[in-house]
Structures are given as structure tokens and as C-alpha cells.
Chains A and B, each alone.
Chain A
Amino acid sequence: AQRVTQPEKLLSVFKGAPVELKCNYSYSGSPELFWYVQYSRQRLQLLLRHISRESIKGFTADLNKGETSFHLKKPFAQEEDSAMYYCALPALSGYNKLIFGAGTRLAVHP
């Protein structure tokens, strides 16, 4: 069965510290993976997708097929990074529906 696992409900760091939000998946075939972010009282928005291999707001994520992981990283966290982060992939069946993890709340303290 397809599944996305985000093991940490809350990640609390100080400003300037490195951040790694974990995401593991189970999937048959080559998945397309996404990170979505929701800042307080804003829309849930796409942060990055692995096929684009770009860095957004200093965040990067590398797909590791051997470890079935797609961890989100940033070398120096900023207070404005505080938000809810969700890892997701498209279901194998079902016309583009997304399968999400439970989310990780990142809290960056001054």
C-alpha cells in the first residue's frame, strides 16, 4: 500500500540551526514527491517537488530511492520558516489524488 510517513509531529529549533524534516514513503515504481507548507492562516502551498530539483526559500529535498526517503533540509532556519509541513505523493490510482503524511510542525525560536 502507498504510504507517506512523517515521524515527527513537532520539530523545534533555534534560529540559525540546521533543519531536517523527515519523510519516508512506500510506493511501487518511481514516485513523484512533493513538500507542501502551510504558514499560519495562509493557503496550503507547494514548497517544492523532486522532479524540479530546485531550492525554494533555502529548502532542498533529495529523493533517496534506496532509503525511500525525501527529507526536507535547510542549513540555517529562520523564524519565518515556522509552519506546518506536509510530504505528499500522487496515488497510483485515482486521477491525481494526493497521499499526504501527517505533517510536521516546525517551530523556529529566536
Chain B
Amino acid sequence: EAGVTQFPSHSVIEKGQTVTLRCDPISGHDNLYWYRRVMGKEIKFLLHFVKESKQDESGMPNNRFLAERTGGTYSTLKVQPAELEDSGVYFCASSRGSNIQYFGAGTRLSVL
């Protein structure tokens, strides 16, 4: 089956600009997760969707981050305005129920 797809693979923007990351989960997976790895640190949970509803957004750093999953299919994560500390690798994962999470390759975000 096709895996989790993330776009773009790399984004370079300037501080203050807006960036939108996209995640296409595995078809049929109701659960979708966003995680982030800041340079040299652990991968940290951001939020969890069940279909189009936010189940847990306890990891979202601040209100500059907005995640959506309209229609319960793909998801977007928008950062507006981006700050230097937002740089890192953003991972998306999906799962069927409480089973194993399948991850994408990540989007590397560089804020200059």
C-alpha cells in the first residue's frame, strides 16, 4: 500500500513568512498525527486528529501553528508567522485505530 506522503520535503523561508506543510495519510487511516524534531532533540508530539476532529493538541507550541484536516483525509500544518525556533523536521504519521503509526519522510523546515 502507499505510505504516508509529506510535501514539501524541504522548505526554506524567511522569518515572518508563512509556510504550509501537507500530509497525505494512508488511505483508510482515521488517525493522523503531527510530530516535530528540532535539531539534536527528540521527536515531539504536536497533535492528533481522529478523522477531521482534533483529539489532542497538547503539543502545539503556540497559536502561530494551525493544523487542519478538512474532510478527514489529508492534513495541513500552517506556521504563521514563522520564527527561527520553528526550524526542524516535521513528521506526519497515520494509524488505523490504536495500531502502529506509519510515518512519512518528514518536511525539513529552515527559517532564516
A positions within 8 Å CB-CB of B? 4, 9, 36, 38, 41-46, 49, 86, 88, 91, 94-103
Contact = CB atoms under 8 A, between A and B. Distances in A.
Interface residues of B, number: 30
A4 B45 CA distance: 13
B56 A94 contact: yes
Given A9-B40, A102-B40, A94 B105 contact: no
Contacts of B95: 96
10 contacts: A4-B42, A9-B40, A41-B105, A86-B43, A95-B55, A97-B45, A98-B35, A98-B43, A103-B37, A103-B42
Nearest to B99: A96
A96 B58 contact: no
B53 to A, nearest CB: 11
A38 B91 CA distance: 12
A94 B42 contact: no
Contacts of A96: 31, 33, 48, 95, 98, 101
B81 interface: no
B103 A36 contact: yes
Contacts of A42: 105
B43 A97 contact: no
A7 B18 CA distance: 35
A91 B45 contact: yes
A57 B98 CA distance: 25
A31 B94 CA distance: 21
A95 B40 CA distance: 26
